[in-house]
Amino acid sequence: MSELRFNELRGEQVVYAIDRQDRTFLPAREHCPLDPTRPGGPPTEIPLPAFQIAVFDNRFPAFEAPGGAAEVVVYTDRHDGSFATLSAERAEALMWVWRHRYLELGARPDVDYVMIFENRGVEVGVTLHHPHGQIYGYPFLPPVPALELAADERLGGCAPCALLARELDAGERVLIERDSVVAYVPHAARWAYEAHVVMREHRASLLDCRPQELLELSQVLQALVRGYDALFDRPFPYVMVVHQAPTSAQARRGHVHVEFYPPLRTAEKLKFLAGSEQGAGTFISDTLPEQSAVALREAIARAA
Ligand SMILES: [Zn+2]
Ligand SMILES: [Zn+2]
Ligand SMILES: [Zn+2]
């Protein structure tokens, strides 16, 4: 079991999940635990000879019932590739899987916040290359979603709605504009190629989205990550996070959006969180979001 400790000086929870030290670290191709179990082959995490999308409890959980949840979402039974190279149908189906997991985990009394995410690339600590994401069900409201709720208060209404309106008005940082989904580099992005993908209508969670909106969300997410891969003509590492309304009884407001935090600032250079970022919480960037948006728009067009 993991242990929660409250860091008084920071006012935040820290999770100690010490079993995770033993988790599988970049296994050889033939020992991938996220592959299907082939007839006569070694058993993997998924006891089926083939599958489309598989969801199961993380064997090395940061959270587990009755103190939250940690799940693995395997996007495909094919080892090679990425979210970008999934078929359009599979990417759309993944949105429905996310929706379903939000519904099920969010209904649990021990889950206050459901966060769907993907870490891609060894640069962000990936230990398995097989295309997959994760879901954490936090038994508390974590600081970043809490900050977003505070932004609602500050802006006097839904913050993602207000910020989307500003971005559409300015236009220069918009990357992709569809009927129901918009992608942009935020005005005050922390990462050089940070991007946010936002539902145009106010939708608290994926449960409130219409089927057409989920379809467009999958299309815009794929167009963006393909653009990322085209940007420096190399697999582009990122952390992708889906923010939705908390599922605790107290605060069920929010606005679905997906945030990408890519660590690269050039084809070779990584952004490290150092003195100012760690000690002061203030990001210092050497690129402007407007310039990144121009480069990303071109890359998205190249990859389309
Ligand atoms: Zn695999
Ligand atoms: Zn909104
Ligand atoms: Zn967010």
Per-residue pLDDT of 10-32, as tens digits, reads 999 999 998 766 777 777 888 89
How many angstroms is it from 254 CA to the middle of ligand 2?
Answer: 7
Pairing of strands 113-120, 69-74: unpaired
Residue 40 vs residue 297, higher pLDDT: 297
Catalytic, 130? Answer: no
How many angstroms is it from 196 CA to the middle of ligand 3?
Answer: 8
DSSP-derived secondary structure for 278-303: III-----SS-HHHHHHHHHHHHHHH
Closest to 197 measured CA to CA, from 114, 291, 260: 260
pLDDT at 11: 95
Q: Which of 129, 130, 132, 243 is catalytic?
A: 132
Cα–Cα dist 184/196, whole Å = 5
How many angstroms is it from 104 CA to the middle of ligand 1?
Answer: 26
Per cent of the chain over pLDDT 90 is 89
Secondary structure element (H or E) that encloses residue 212, with its range: helix 211-231
pLDDT at 21: 66
Task: Give the pLDDT band (50/70/90) at residue 33.
Answer: very high
How many angstroms is it from 132 CA to the middle of ligand 3?
Answer: 21
Secondary structure element (H or E) that encloses residue 4, with its range: strand 3-7
Q: What is the mean pLDDT of residues 79-93?
A: 97
Ligand positioned closest to the Cα atom of 151: 3
Per cent of the chain over pLDDT 70 is 99
At 251-279, the pLDDT tens digits run 779 999 999 999 999 999 999 999 999 99
